[in-house]
Amino acid sequence: MPRDFLSLADHSPEQIRAYLDLARQVKLHPQGFRDVCRGRTLAMIFQKPSLRTRVSFETGIYQLGGQGLYLGPKDIQLHRGETIADTARVLSRYVDGIMARVFAHQDVVDLAAYADVPVINGLSDLLHPCQVLADLQTIEEKLGSLAGRKWTYIGDGNNMAHSILFGGALAGMTVAVGHPRGYAPDPEIVTRARDIAARTGGAIQVTEDPGLAAQEADVVYTDVWASMGQEAEHAERLKRFEGFQVDEAMMGRARPGAIFMHCLPAHRGEEVAAEVIDGPQSVVFDQAENRLHAQKAVMIKLMGDRW
């Protein structure tokens, strides 16, 4: 098992399975894990705010017997006043793990390179591995299996698309990404996902036709069209993403028992219709809950006793 949790692609299918099995046990029997991280401290670096990331990690480490230490932009300034290398070395003398929610992915890579304690990627501009680990847990709970399923992502080829490509490929799923022209996922990520899928029996499809991507899907997923830091592009993106809203017609292209997923926060009327996200196929709040359980599994593996 890698010391850090930076990317799902750093793990083997067997290691991802171990995380999912542990997350399931943590969810079913939380009291059995309440002392696993007793006396351990998790430093939580936030360059940008987040409801789900902060509350799930802070609650999770507390439920494991440890404590979380919030370090916001006013508490710690990466690149300003102190180098990432020095920040990592100093924190390593105080805490037992570091979670970082950052803009540049290189920041979490550098933190891991210089820290003597495990580093968890809480989100970067390239990847969102904790979210997709929770998503895999949710899909398995709702559909009963992962391998052979079709997981469709519609929208911007962003960090969510990238981690879905990796997570779905590792699970032996077919991952379809439907994106507007000019908003394709990173080609290097796609290539690496295809290499993984070739070994697991999965498949990767990238298309500018959202309807084709949604066809016969077991899971339909979307994300906001303008993420944090892209507010100035919002009006332009609304034009460019026309036709990519996940509405009832789009869901109608998926399999009858398909589920709808969204990492939240959601903008009803933009990337998703209210009838879909608030409808019977939506599992978005189950996903949100599973962030707690999946991330507890990560902290147990990286910071806990006997693991």
The pLDDT of residue 292: 98
Choosing from 11, 40, 54, 101, the catalytic residue is 101
Same domain, 121 and 266: no
The neighbouring-strand residues paired with 222 are 154, 262
Same domain, 115 and 146: no
Known catalytic membership, residue 11: no
Answer whether 214's CB lies under 8 Å from 254's CB: yes
Q: In a 10 Å sphere around its CB, with 0-12 CB exposed, 13-18 middle and 19+ buried, how is residue 230 labelled? A: middle
Same domain, 152 and 267: yes
Same domain, 281 and 295: no
Same domain, 177 and 217: yes
The pLDDT of residue 293: 98
Same domain, 165 and 111: no
Residue 1 included in any domain: no
Closest residue by Cα to residue 220 from 255, 170, 259? 259
Residue 161 included in any domain: yes
Block residue for tokens 């997570």: 167
pTM, two decimal places: 0.97
Residue 265 included in any domain: yes
Same domain, 59 and 24: yes
Choosing from 40, 54, 291, 293, the catalytic residue is 291
Answer whether 276's CB lies under 8 Å from 19's CB: no
Known catalytic membership, residue 128: yes
The C-alpha atoms of residue 103 and residue 110 are separated, in whole angstroms, by: 13
Domain extent for 25 = 8-128+291-303
Residue 2 included in any domain: no
Same domain, 123 and 218: no
Show the tokens assigned to 130: 């904790």
Across the 307 residues of the chain, what is the mean pLDDT of every consecutive 10-residue run?
96 98 98 97 95 97 98 81 93 98 97 98 98 98 97 98 98 98 98 98 98 98 83 85 97 98 97 98 98 98 84
Same domain, 21 and 87: yes
The C-alpha atoms of residue 55 and residue 130 are separated, in whole angstroms, by: 14
Same domain, 54 and 135: no
Q: What is the CATH number of the domain that holds 30?
A: 3.40.50.1370
Secondary structure string (H, E, C) spanning the chain: CCCCECCHHHCCHHHHHHHHHHHHHHHHCHHHHCCCCCCCEEEEEECCCCHHHHHHHHHHHHHCCCEEEEECCCCCCECCCECHHHHHHHHHHHCCEEEEECCCHHHHHHHHHHCCCCEEEEECCCCCHHHHHHHHHHHHHHHCCCCCCEEEEECCCCHHHHHHHHHHHHCCCEEEEECCCCCCCCHHHHHHHHHHHHHHCCEEEEECCHHHHHCCCCEEEECCCCCCCCHHHHHHHHHHCCCCCECHHHHHCCCCCCEEEECCCCCECCCECHHHHCCCCECHHHHHHHHHHHHHHHHHHHHCCCC
The pLDDT of residue 114: 98
Known catalytic membership, residue 131: yes
Residue 3 included in any domain: no
The neighbouring-strand residues paired with 178 are 154, 207
Known catalytic membership, residue 278: no
Residue 148 included in any domain: yes
Residue 92 included in any domain: yes
Residue 189 included in any domain: yes
The pLDDT of residue 222: 98
Answer whether 285's CB lies under 8 Å from 49's CB: no
Block residue for tokens 């590792």: 170
Choosing from 128, 149, 179, 262, the catalytic residue is 128
Choosing from 52, 162, 223, 287, the catalytic residue is 223
Closest residue by Cα to residue 97 from 115, 109, 74? 115
Same domain, 250 and 140: yes
The pLDDT of residue 80: 72
Choosing from 245, 263, 293, 295, the catalytic residue is 263
The pLDDT of residue 195: 98
Residue 65, Ramachandran bin (φ over 0: left; ψ between -120 and 50: alpha; else beta)? left
Same domain, 203 and 76: no
Q: Provide the domain count of the chain.
A: 2
